[in-house]
A and B are shown apart, each in its own frame.
Chain A
Amino acid sequence: MTNNGRKIKIQVQNLTKRFGDLLVLNNISFNVYEGEFLCIVGPTGCGKTTFLNVLTKLHPATEGDIYIDGEPANPQKHNISFVFQEPSTMPWLTVEQNIRYGLEVKKVPEEEIKKRLNQVMELVGLKDFRNYYPRQLSASMDQRVVIARAFAINPDLLLMDEPYSQLDIKLRYYLEDEVIRIWREMKRTVIFVTHNIEEAVYLAERILILTPKPATIKKEIKVDLPRPRNFADPEFVNIRNQVTEMIKWW
């Protein structure tokens, strides 16, 4: 797994999760490099959500662990952001207060909070809406608040769990480009989980393909295409077909 001499940021080692007799995650190991955009695809119901919940320490792992910069991951110590599938803005807070939430939990000094707020709100284009409540926003603006909140804490690890699966195609394309733009600007390490193969090929530097339950890594595919990527590019189509075959033939 050479990666142009990039530093390893995240190490997942022998991650296993059992619910009683049911084995959901089977000995998963992989690395993520600093500033990498990694996509994980797998068939529906392969345990992706469990995988993410274990990664973020919402659930304890049965065996194995995840390390950030060589230390066991700890949400209280490391900066971990999670962009969920469902809308996750807090309806009782304004756009600005929502974005502040992570920074305040992390006890970032007020001056620094102001600086970062301005930076991310500029980046996602929400400056003029800072005093709006989520109820007053469109679905895409709401997702942008969530993304701004996730990036604002300068996460060591940003996890995205099918964040666009409930949006229409036009909005999805738009937000995919947005997240790539913000990722390039902020230079964060991202794990993006999706069941949409085209989306994975469009976004990822590297794709991990999971097997059906109990999930383990079936294959790793590098996507070394220039951005912005073209869905009709023969090379793009080739990689997409490759991933599709991997998912189809278990």
Chain B
Amino acid sequence: MATRIVAAPGKIRSKNNSLVWLSAASLVVFFIIWYGLVESGIISKALLSPPAEVLTTFISKFSNRAPDGATLGAHFKTSLTLALTGYITAVVVGAPLGLLMGWYKKVDSIVKPIFEVIRPIPPIAWIPLAILWFGIGLPAKAFIIWLSAFVPSVINSYAGIKLTEPVLINMSRTFGATNWETFLRVGVPSALAMVFTGLRLSLSSAWMTLVAAELLAATEGLGYMIQMGRTLARPDVIIVGMLTIGLTGAAMAFILERFEGKLAPWRRS
């Protein structure tokens, strides 16, 4: 009996270990195929750099400004500032607006017609107007990112609060709670899971739009770096830029998930 109790966690760990190995193996195979394709000449080195070269460029870009005029750190900082500015201002407005629209019919009636028309317009379609209004500085790009993050945060908060259990609303009302009190203490917490889904979708949307915005009009940033890589025919620079974008996006999603776990402890299993 005692041995079984001791053995059980070990079994679980070895199972987890084998899953980790599986993930590692998949990465290794991916790099081998990449390496093989380039080294065997199936894909020309001018079009795709081998993994080792990408790694070297990645490391050297930490201090080297060539060939695109700024270090990786500087590009990264520009992009991150831009994305977070647009993202945070969007969700600070979008999530509460969605919640209010979902709860108060009057707010819904006022906002919905405008929102429904703006919603299907892809954020990049705003680029010309944004440049016309704000020039090609940070405000124009922040505006486009703001729009791209705004829409999912509104929609998900709206849908989330609409799903509040009617029985909980009735419970609160029979206790004599005002509508506003019920909104804050029943509607909002019950919508929190969907609000966070919105925050996640907004984040990926903001990050993706960032690159599109920078490809068009920028002097610094990860999108600009990729664009310069193409102009200078440097696939290694392009791939370094892409990898940085991918890793940062994943890291931000991870941080947001942690934050959600802190804010919604009742959902932790």
Check A101 for interface membership: any CB of B closer than 8 A. Answer: yes
Q: Residues of B contacting A87 with CB < 8 Å?
A: 167
Query: A16-24, A78-86, A177-185, A208-216: which lies at the B interface?
Result: A78-86
Interface residue from A80, A84, A90, A92 paired with B176 (Cβ < 8 Å): A80
> Interface SS of chain B: helix, strand, loop or mixed?
helix
Interface residue from B172, B178, B189 paired with A92 (Cβ < 8 Å): B189
Known contacts A84-B167, A86-B167; A101/B189 CB under 8 A: no
Check B52 for interface membership: any CB of A closer than 8 A. Answer: no
- Bound together, the chains give a CA A78 to CA B264 distance in angstroms of 33
Interface residue from A75, A84, A93 paired with B175 (Cβ < 8 Å): A75
Decide if A82 touches B170 in the complex (CB within 8 Å): yes
Check A32 for interface membership: any CB of B closer than 8 A. Answer: no
Check B130 for interface membership: any CB of A closer than 8 A. Answer: no
Check B266 for interface membership: any CB of A closer than 8 A. Answer: yes
Q: Residues of B contacting A88 with CB < 8 Å?
A: 165, 167-168, 171
Check A58 for interface membership: any CB of B closer than 8 A. Answer: yes
Check A218 for interface membership: any CB of B closer than 8 A. Answer: no
Check B190 for interface membership: any CB of A closer than 8 A. Answer: yes
Which residues of chain B (169-184) have a CB below 8 Å from chain A?
A: 170-178, 181
Check B192 for interface membership: any CB of A closer than 8 A. Answer: yes
Q: Residues of B contacting A102 with CB < 8 Å?
A: 175
Known contacts A75-B175, A105-B181; A90/B167 CB under 8 A: no
Interface residue from B170, B173, B176, B190 paired with A106 (Cβ < 8 Å): B176
Check A2 for interface membership: any CB of B closer than 8 A. Answer: no
- Bound together, the chains give a CA A105 to CA B177 distance in angstroms of 6
Interface residue from A58, A91, A135 paired with B170 (Cβ < 8 Å): A58
Contact with B along A117-135 (1 / 0, CB 8 A): 0000000000000000101
Decide if B168 touches A153 in the complex (CB within 8 Å): no
- Bound together, the chains give a CA A22 to CA B54 distance in angstroms of 75
Check B186 for interface membership: any CB of A closer than 8 A. Answer: yes
Decide if A91 touches B266 in the complex (CB within 8 Å): yes
Report the minimal beta-carbon distance from A121 to chain B, rounded to whole angstroms. Answer: 18
Report the minimal beta-carbon distance from A78 to chain B, rounded to whole angstroms. Answer: 8
A-B contact count (CB 8 A): 63
Report the minimal beta-carbon distance from A225 to chain B, rounded to whole angstroms. Answer: 31
Decide if B174 touches A92 in the complex (CB within 8 Å): no
Decide if A75 touches B189 in the complex (CB within 8 Å): no
- Bound together, the chains give a CA A98 to CA B192 distance in angstroms of 17
Decide if B177 touches A133 in the complex (CB within 8 Å): no
Check A56 for interface membership: any CB of B closer than 8 A. Answer: yes
Q: Residues of B contacting A53 with CB < 8 Å?
A: 170
Known contacts A84-B167, A133-B266, A135-B266; A92/B192 CB under 8 A: yes
Decide if B190 touches A84 in the complex (CB within 8 Å): no
Known contacts A84-B167, A92-B192; A75/B173 CB under 8 A: yes
Report the minimal beta-carbon distance from B268 to chain A, rounded to whole angstroms. Answer: 9
Contact with B along A73-116 (1 / 0, CB 8 A): 01111111110101110111100000001100110000000000
Report the minimal beta-carbon distance from A117 to chain B, rounded to whole angstroms. Answer: 15
Residue of B nearest to A86 (CB): B167
Report the minimal beta-carbon distance from A88 to chain B, rounded to whole angstroms. Answer: 5
Q: Residues of B contacting A79 with CB < 8 Å?
A: 176
Q: Residues of A contacting B190 with CB < 8 Å?
A: 90-92
Decide if B189 touches A82 in the complex (CB within 8 Å): no
Decide if A82 touches B266 in the complex (CB within 8 Å): no
Q: Residues of B contacting A153 with CB < 8 Å?
A: 175
- Bound together, the chains give a CA A76 to CA B186 distance in angstroms of 17
Q: Residues of B contacting A92 with CB < 8 Å?
A: 189-190, 192, 264, 266
Q: Residues of A contacting B165 with CB < 8 Å?
A: 86, 88
- Bound together, the chains give a CA A166 to CA B170 distance in angstroms of 19
Decide if B264 touches A105 in the complex (CB within 8 Å): no
Q: Residues of B contacting A74 with CB < 8 Å?
A: 176
Report the minimal beta-carbon distance from A179 to chain B, rounded to whole angstroms. Answer: 18
Q: Residues of A contacting B174 with CB < 8 Å?
A: 56-58, 75, 80-82, 159
Residue of A nearest to B166 (CB): A86
Report the minimal beta-carbon distance from A84 to chain B, rounded to whole angstroms. Answer: 5
> B-side interface residues toward A, CB under 8 Å?
165, 167-168, 170-178, 181, 185-186, 189-190, 192, 264, 266
**Can you name 24 A-B residue pairings with CB atoms under 8 Å?**
A56-B170, A56-B174, A74-B176, A76-B176, A79-B176, A80-B174, A80-B176, A82-B170, A84-B167, A84-B170, A84-B171, A86-B165, A87-B167, A88-B168, A90-B190, A92-B192, A92-B264, A92-B266, A105-B172, A105-B175, A106-B176, A133-B266, A153-B175, A159-B174
The 10 nearest A-B residue pairs measured at CB? A75-B176, A76-B176, A82-B174, A92-B189, A133-B266, A102-B175, A105-B175, A105-B177, A56-B174, A86-B167
